[in-house]
Structure 1
Amino acid sequence: MATACVAAAGSAAAQPADYPVPAPASAPVETGAIPLYGAKTPGSAANENWAKYFGGDYTVRNVTRPTLTPVLPDPTKATGAAVIVAPGGAFMALSMSHEGWDVARALADRGIAAFVLKYRLLPTPKDEAEAGKYVWAKMMEGIPDPTKQPVLTNPQATEDGLAALKMVREHAAKWGVDPARVGMIGFSAGAMTSLQTVLAAKSGERPAFFGYIYGPQAKIDVPADASPMFDAIALDDPLFPSMGFPIAQGWLAAKRPVEIHGYQQGSHGFGLGKPNTTTTLVLDEFIAWLSMQGFLTRKTAP
């Protein structure tokens, strides 16, 4: 199964002429970031290229050293549920603020332990202007047919998704998490990373649930024990034009839980919501769906 996605880094416009060139930035302090494979974690943070879009949103390229950053709720509000957050960026960048840290903080504010996954990326030119053109060209090559899953692949992202799932479950007690209620949410390339983690995980070890936010809607083969899916996309998404919801129909055919949100407006890369559109409801709707599934119900001691 191909792993793919095509999202302009952060909330960048989906037209090459409008592709914003971000300002290079020093690497921020990633407080609490944990090497994903411990002492065996590959790569080096020295390879990374950090930048800021629109004056404040951090993005990073050329990630070779994957990490997981916990963002934990106030213990008095903690539900015991956990969500691994996978930012997007066409597998060539990560929108760390817009689709990572901002999302994690919003989840933690609602009592859900969040873990931002900085997964490994495909290499890009160091220069930001050159990188923008390169990323756009690769994105367009990766979507030869919008009715099918994209062909741009990055198996390392899936490996990192599986490793993040394993880490959170192994350290569940330390983080106040129920290992049976560890799920994922991903945006664009991160949505595809979440999906591929679901598909690649062994039966019985899949994420408890996953949010699939503006990922490709093309049909896939759905396992009989696929994780419950929350599927959200704007119907004016320029990268994945509306063609109905074949992927969600696959979940229905497999008799697996699925919820669909098709927003009238929002374009691609709306993150926690584009102002003046109903996409601003996406996190509240995701959390309401988690609650309906019983994932936010605290376990009581016997």
Structure 2
Amino acid sequence: MKKPILTLLIGLFTTMVFAQNHVIPLWERTPPLQNPSDLQEEATQQGILRIANVQNPTIEVYLPTKQIATGEAVVIFPGGGYGILAYDWEGTDFAKWLNAQGIAGIVVKYRLPISKSLTDPKEVPLMDAQRAIRLVRQHAEAWIINPAKVGVMGFSAGGHLASTLSTQYNHEVNRPKDTIDALSARPDFSVLVYPVISFRDAAVHSGSRKNLIGENTSQELIDRFSGELNVNAETPPTFLVHAQDDKGVPIENSLLYYQALHKHGVKASLHIYPTGGHGFAFGLGKGAVEGWREVLLAWIKETVK
């Protein structure tokens, strides 16, 4: 009887070792554009871990073993309409999967613009995204990451944030700076999964737009946060995946972004599946869309050199 118990304990210990990860705050003190408050983060687990009212943004770092590390890293932005974060479904689950491929996965718990503690809510998600990618580059050597192979992955509203970072990585707001700000916030590649892209009426996801910039806002802000209007030749190579039957975020979002990338000569790969709906994540049990991750891995291998 002792041998099976010993084997079980060894197995549990091994699982714990390989499941190790660490969490790093994005900002040392009270984050920029935020008033000190007693507001508390909220987390609920109902099939999906949903995090709301983020007050202390972080990155959760998952690193592959040295033996299989490719030097690539993906900074992950979970979706949730800028109201919550689907933190495991579109975050840590993918970081762990990327690790198995030798790729570092870094999940960003970014602040959400509906929080009452923020002084300029529309600027905060992008600011946190810029900080996240700079922190990864700061730790690149220690984490066995090539700082020229740091990409982003975003789902739904997280895809909107990833595309905003990809097109506005140099955007600045008035705030105190430190040495980390000298590092580039430009992603080397971008993976957008059923992304919100446009805040224009034809393709808008009204919840994301309302939460980020409000209901009655200027055309200037609508255009600024419509990713297809901000693509240029410096926008990073992009992989897009969407389901044709997506009733949450219309497929036109990915189509518009792809067309803008193609117009500016940016390498892009667009993958449309007939079914899958919205929020399919891994796509398990959803038909052909279940294979999108293998297509992504081939694209990364070909594109990120």
Instruction: Give me the TM-score of the superposition, normalised by structure 1.
Output: 0.73
CA–CA distance in structure 2, aligned partners of residues 36 and 172 of structure 1 = 15
1:83-133: per-residue Cα shift (whole Å, max 9, x none)? 0011000111001110000000000110001100000013379xxxxxxxx
Structure 2 segments unaligned to the other structure (5+ residues)? 1-19, 172-183, 199-227
SS in structure 2 opposite 1:105? helix
1:237 correspondence with 2:246: yes
1:141-198: per-residue Cα shift (whole Å, max 9, x none)? xxxxxxxxxxxx8321111110001000011001000000001000011101111111
Deviation of the 1:31 alpha carbon: 5.2
1:186 correspondence with 2:166: no
1:66 correspondence with 2:65: no
CA–CA distance in structure 2, aligned partners of residues 216 and 62 of structure 1 = 21
Say if 1:61 and 1:123, in contact at 8 Å, map to a contact too: no
2:132 to 147, 164, 170: 164
Q: Which has the higher helix share?
A: 2
- Structure having greater relative contact order (Cα 8 Å, sep ≥ 6): 1
Percent identity between matched residues is: 30
Q: How many residues align?
A: 237
Q: 1:190-269 maps to which residues of 2 (within 5 A)?
A: 190-202=158-170, 205-216=185-196, 218=198, 219-243=228-252, 245-269=255-279
> Which structure: larger Rg?
2
Do the aligned partners of residues 95 and 63 (structure 1) sit closer, same or farther apart at CA in structure 2, a change above 3 Å counting?
A: same
1:120 correspondence with 2:103: no
Amino acid at match of 1:51: T
Do the aligned partners of residues 101 and 205 (structure 1) sit closer, same or farther apart at CA in structure 2, a change above 3 Å counting?
A: closer
CA–CA distance in structure 2, aligned partners of residues 53 and 226 of structure 1 = 37
Structure 1 segments unaligned to the other structure (5+ residues)? 1-29, 126-152, 296-302
CA–CA distance in structure 2, aligned partners of residues 170 and 160 of structure 1 = 15
2:69 to 44, 61, 78: 78
CA–CA distance in structure 1, aligned partners of residues 28 and 295 of structure 2 = 35
CA–CA distance in structure 2, aligned partners of residues 216 and 81 of structure 1 = 25
Amino acid at match of 1:167: L
Instruction: Give me the TM-score of the superposition, normalised by structure 2.
Output: 0.72
Do the aligned partners of residues 242 and 166 (structure 1) sit closer, same or farther apart at CA in structure 2, a change above 3 Å counting?
A: closer
CA–CA distance in structure 1, aligned partners of residues 61 and 123 of structure 2 = 23
Match of 1:288 in 2: 298
